[in-house]
Amino acid sequence: MSHTESLNPESIDEAYRSHLRLTDALRRVVEANAGVRLPAAGAEDLVAMADALAERLEALAGDGRYHVADGPDAFLDEPGRAMAINPIIGHCSPIAPPVEMSLRGGQVRGTTRLGQAYVGPPGRVHGGWVCALLDQVLGFACVADGNPSFTASITVHLRKATPLNTDLELTGRVTDVSGRRVTAWGAIHADGELTAEAEGLFVRIPSDFGVGNAS
Q: Which phi-psi region, left, alpha or beta, contains residue 121 (left: φ > 0; alpha: ψ -120 to 50)?
A: beta
Domain spans in the chain, listed from the N-terminal domain onward: 1-96, 98-204
Kindly state the average pLDDT of the residues 28-46: 88
CA separation for the pair 174, 107 (Å, rounded): 8
CA angle at residue 23 from 190 to 62, to 5 degrees?
A: 130
pLDDT score at 83: 86
List CB contacts of 46: < 8 A, sequence separation 6 or more. Answer: 38
The top-level CATH class assigned to 98-204 is alpha beta
More confident residue, 67 or 178: 178
Looking at the chain, which runs of residues are DSSP E strands? 100-102, 107-112, 149-158, 168-178, 181-190, 193-204
Q: What is the DSSP letter of 37?
A: -
Least confident of 9-18, 47-56, 102-111, 172-181: 9-18
More confident residue, 40 or 25: 25
CA separation for the pair 103, 83 (Å, rounded): 13
- Average pLDDT over the chain, rounded to an integer: 88
More confident residue, 66 or 167: 167
Q: Using DSSP, state whether 156 is helix, strand or coil.
A: strand
CA separation for the pair 52, 203 (Å, rounded): 44
Q: pLDDT exceeding 70 applies to what percent of the chain?
A: 87
